[in-house]
Amino acid sequence: MEENTPRITRHTTPEGVSVLLSGCWAAERLAEPVAWAQIQSELSACAAPEATGWSWDLRTLERLDHTGAQLLWNAWDHQWPARLLVLDPQRAMLARVAQYAIRPPVATRLSAWQVFLSLGAMVWFLIDHIRDLIRLMGQLLLDAIKLGRAPAKGPWRDVSGHLYHIGATALPITALVGFLIGVVLAYLMSLQLRQFGADAFIVNILGISLIRELGPVLAAILIAGRSGSAITAQIGVMRVTEELDAMRVMGIAKGYRLVLPRAIAMAVAMPLLTVWTTLAALLGGMLAADLAMGVTPAYFFASLPRAVEISNLTLAVGKSVVFGLLIAVIGCHYGLRVKPNTESLGQGTTASVVTSITMVILVDALFAVIFKDIGI
C-alpha cells in the first residue's frame, strides 16, 4: 500500500475508541475506485450509533482538501464530533465546509392542522381564479354589448390580425394532424371490421367519430397549445414590459382592446378550423380505407351523407364556437395575471395551455351528455 493512500485506523484506548486518519485525503487520491470503496465502507462503520463518543485524530494527515473535509463532515452527520484532534489549518478547512454545507432535508409528517391550512390555501387560490375569471367574462359581455351598439368603432383591425394568426397560419398543422389521425383510425378499425365482414361500416364509424367528436376536440387542443399559449404570452409580455400599466394611464380599456378582439377571432376561427380539420381527417380515413379494405372513394362519398346526419355537423360547429371562446378567455385570464417577471410568464403560459385543454375535454363531455340523442 502506498504511503499517501487514505487510511482509517481504529485503536482502543482507556478513554474509548480512537479513529486515526492518515494518508492523503485529497480529491486525486479519493477518486481512485479502490481507495473510494475502502474509505466509504470504513466511514460507514465509524458512523454507527455506538460510534457517537469516539475520538477522531486528523493530525497525521499528509493533506486534507475540501473533498476530504466534505466526506468527513457527511460521515459525522453534519455535526462536530465530541472529541476531535486537528491542526489549525485542518480545523479551518472543516469549519469552512461546515459553513457552506447543505444538510439534507428531513422528511416531516404533516399534522392535521397543516393539512387543513394547505387545503384552505388551495381553496382560496381556486376562489381567486374563479373570481377573476367571472369578472373577465362579465367585462367581455359588456364590451360585446358596447360593440353591438357602435360596431363602426370596434377594434376590427385587431380582430382581422388575430384571425389571420389564429386561423390562417394554423391551417397546415391542423390539416396534417387531422389527415394522420384519419389514417390511423381507418387502419385500426379495418383490422376489427374485417373479422366480421363489416367493411362498409367504416364509413359510419369514421363519419360519426370525426365529424361529431374528434374533429372539434382535435382542432381545439391544437389551437389551445398553439394560439392559447400565444395569447397568454403576448399579454404576459405586455405586463412584464409595463405596457398594461401604460394603457391604464392613457385610459385605454384593456378588455375592449385586448380580450374582445381575441375572443371574436377565436370564436370565428374555431368553427372554420374544425371543418378544415374534419375534412382532412375524412380524406385520410377515406384513402386508408381504400388501401386497407377496398372501400372506394366513390362509395365513401355516397355513403357518408346517409351515415351521418347534418345535425352532427351543426353540433360540432356549435361546440367549436364554445371551445374558441373558452380558449381565448382562459388565455387572456392567465395573461392578465402574469406578474412582472419572466418566471411568472412561463408558469402562466404553461397553466393556460393545461387549463384550456382540460376545459375543452370537460366541456366536450358535457356536450356529449346533453346532446346524446341528437344525430345518433
- 274 contacts 217 by C-beta, under 8 angstroms: no
Decide if pLDDT at 303 tops 60.
yes
pLDDT of residue 19: 78
Weakest-pLDDT range from 71-85, 184-198, 326-340: 71-85
Model confidence pLDDT, tens digit, residues 164-194:
999 999 999 999 999 999 999 998 888 888 7
Asked whether residue 1 carries a pLDDT value surpassing 60, the answer given is no
pTM of the model: 0.71
| Residue 23: CB atoms within 10 Å | 22
Measuring CA to CA, which residue among 247, 226, 259, 246 is closest to residue 333? 259
Which pLDDT score, from 0 to 100, does residue 134 have?
A: 92
Q: Answer yes or no: is pLDDT of 49 > 60.
A: no
Instruction: Tell me the three state secondary structure of residue 4.
Output: coil
Mean pLDDT of 303-313: 87
Distance CA 332, CA 258 (A): 8
Q: Is the pLDDT score of 40 beyond 90?
A: no
Q: For residue range 238-265, list pLDDT tens digits in order.
A: 988 888 889 888 888 888 889 999 999 9
Radius of gyration of the chain (CA): 34
Average pLDDT, the chain: 85
pLDDT at 362: 95
pLDDT average, residue stretch 195-213:
84
Q: Hey, is 56 helix, strand or coil? A: strand
- Residue 259: the pLDDT is 92
Task: Please give the pLDDT value at position 69.
Answer: 79
Band the pLDDT of 112: cuts 50, 70, 90. Answer: confident
Q: What is the CATH number of domain 7-100?
A: 3.30.750
Q: Interior CA angle at 296 toward 295 and 298, to 5°?
A: 130
Given a cut of 80, whether residue 7 has pLDDT beyond it is: no
Q: 31: pLDDT confidence band, cut at 50, 70 and 90? A: confident
Query: Which residue spans of the chain are classified as CATH 3.30.750?
Result: 7-100
